[in-house]
Structure 1
Amino acid sequence: MTKRHVSLPSGAEEGLTAFIDEVDERLTAAGPDAAESTCDVVQDVLVDLYGDREAYERWQSGKDVSAAEQVRLQGYDPCNATLEAEYYAEKDEERFERSKHLQWLWRQFDATPMADNIAFALRFREMLAGHLFEETGENLRIFKGVTFSYGHNITMGDNTVVHDDVHLDDRGKLTVGDRVSISDDVHVYSHDHDVVDQTEVLNYHTVIEDDARVTYDAMVTAGVRVGRNSVVGARATVTGDVPAHHIVVGQPAKSVRVKPGFEDEADPVGDRLTDNKADRELGYTLPEDLDRFDEFGRPPELSTAADRHRES
């Protein structure tokens, strides 16, 4: 056992518990037909977290504020911000609207000094994950600087931990099991791009099974399944399925051994991990009235190269 229990002084514990419970209740009750929208709750919470209530009320009452103050005060409202995922054409617009507001609260909370108070921040993020993710288990621990594409396509199991500065791409779908450990700076993807036309996006279901460990700065590519009780070594790039109980390292990752004690349970593997992502591709339909554009400003004959490639 490598951890010990810690606790805050009773006064501090009471205050943070009351705050988390209050935000949780407000987010649960928020909605289009409720007294408060999710956007309203997020804005109000951020104003207080940043200690800007006096300036905010001065601005709301029509008194003069500087241009910089106005930008700062407007920024507490997630409706006045854009996230990268907002530009993704295939997203579920209705689900993303709420997810965006919750992501904004998550990201701005992480920029406050309180985000470094582990006892407080882990519980606050666990509460937010319960509203943002598709499904969450018990005792979910998420550390500072973790980012998502949407958030609402993520499922996480019990007693899972995600460490600092991890990116969880759920442009497709991401399922993480029980007792999984994802180390600092890991990137887990669920979307890829066509090799001919990089603006063409392919979405997948990426899975990290129970008791797996993805270690420092590794990358799990879209559509991969990281098997039960396996280990992905530091800075590995996983481009195929990791068999249960295996330890994989390298770029691209290969199995180098089976975890001691699991030799009889582990399946043998060849020189390369098997790529099964085609079985996990997720289709999507774009709106017929979508105003498409090529972000690289290429002429139409180049931006449709992927379609011609697939037809051939």
Structure 2
Amino acid sequence: MAIEEALVEVRKIVEDGVNIEGLAKILEILKCPFPIEVLEEMELYTEYLPKNTEDNYNKEKKYLHFLWDILDKTPMCIVANFAIPFRRILAKKLFKSCGKNFIAEENVRFNVPDNIEIGDNAFINKGAFIDSKGGIKIGNSVGIGEGVNIFTHSHSEHEHSLRTYGEVIIDDYAKIYANATILPGVNVDKQGIAATFYMESSHTWLLQMQG
């Protein structure tokens, strides 16, 4: 099956709503077929997270999340003209919202997809981790570099089960460079920059390009 034909079939399955048969078909397209009985019994770690049990993490969301992660275990993940559109197709149904021309590279990970909002022309590079338990909004034309970690929740030091949440907002045209860390509650203002290996923990951070 040619790449464009494969993407057309994936898009139709996802737009119609992914059930167990649709999941199995997409896995065949990825050249990593699973027995139906395994797919029916599988559980993902993210299903046990409190925020996913509270939110709408249903079977379809689980299947979409599984497909997002499994792509990076296949050779198809480095076929850019397949992998990038494939992730776009999933993101439209998986995230709370996702704008046009979204690009996610290999091994981008997240935990609560319903709490992710992405604008137009956003780019996330390889190996980024998005802890979206507290919610994250990524604006238009935002660039997130390799190995970036974004956190939106933390645990109490004296009682691990106590959690605090802080939404992260990355405004339009902001750039988060490689291996930077963004902590809960941070707002990266329009055109803001987080430097490589930088850790940002303040509530509102403004480092704007002058021009």
Under a length normalisation based on structure 2, what TM-score does the superposition of the two structures give?
0.90
| 1:99–1:150 contact (8 Å) kept in structure 2 | no
CA-CA distance at 1:191 after TM superposition: 1.3
User: Which residue number corresponds to residue 205 of structure 2?
Assistant: 242
Match of 2:49 among 81, 88, 94: 88
Q: Is the CA contact 1:219–1:236 (under 8 Å) kept in the aligned structure 2?
A: yes
Q: 1:23 aligns with which of 10, 23, 28?
A: 10
User: Could you report, residue by residue, the CA deviation over 1:34-93 in whole angstroms, capped at 9, with x for unpaired residues?
Assistant: xxx5333122211342254xxxxxxxxxxxxxxxxxxx636862x433333222234345
1:59-98 equivalent positions in 2, closer than 5 A: 73=35, 77=39, 79-92=40-53, 95-97=56-58, 98=60
Q: Which ranges of structure 2 fall in alignment gaps of 5 or more residues?
A: none
Instruction: Find the aligned partners of 1:160 and 1:76 in 2 and give their Cα distance.
Output: 35
Summarize the Cα distance change of 1:75–1:185 in structure 2 as closer, same or farther, 3 Å threshold: farther
Detail structure 1 runs of 4+ shifted over 3 Å in the superposition.
72-76
Aligned pair partner of 2:94 in 128, 132, 150: 132
CA spacing shift, 1:51–1:83, aligned 2, 3 Å: closer
- How many corresponding residue pairs? 209
Q: What's the Cα RMSD here?
A: 2.0
| Residue of structure 2 equivalent to 1:201 | 163
Q: Is the 8 A contact 2:55 2:114 kept in 1?
A: no
CA distance in 2, matches of 1:175, 1:108: 25
Query: Which residue does 1:220 correspond to in 2?
Result: 182
Give the SS at the match of 1:130: helix
Q: Is the 8 A contact 1:190 1:203 kept in 2?
A: yes
Residues 101-250 of structure 1 aligned to structure 2 (within 5 Å): 101-240=63-202, 241-243=204-206, 246=207
Aligned to 1:63: none
Change (3 A) 1:172 1:119: same
Question: Contact 1:146/1:165 (CA < 8 Å) preserved in 2?
Answer: yes
Asked if the contact 2:111/2:133 (under 8 Å) is kept, the reply is yes
Residue 139 to residue 214, structure 1, CA distance change in 2 (3 Å)? same
TM-score, length of structure 1 as denominator length: 0.62
Q: Where do 5+ consecutive residues of structure 1 fail to align? A: 1-11, 31-36, 53-71, 247-257, 262-312
The higher radius of gyration belongs to: 1
DSSP 3-state at the match of 2:166: strand
Opposite residue 199 of structure 1, the aligned amino acid is S
Matched residue type, 1:28: E
Tell me how far apart the structure 2 counterparts of residues 76 and 143 of structure 1 sit (CA, whole Å). 28
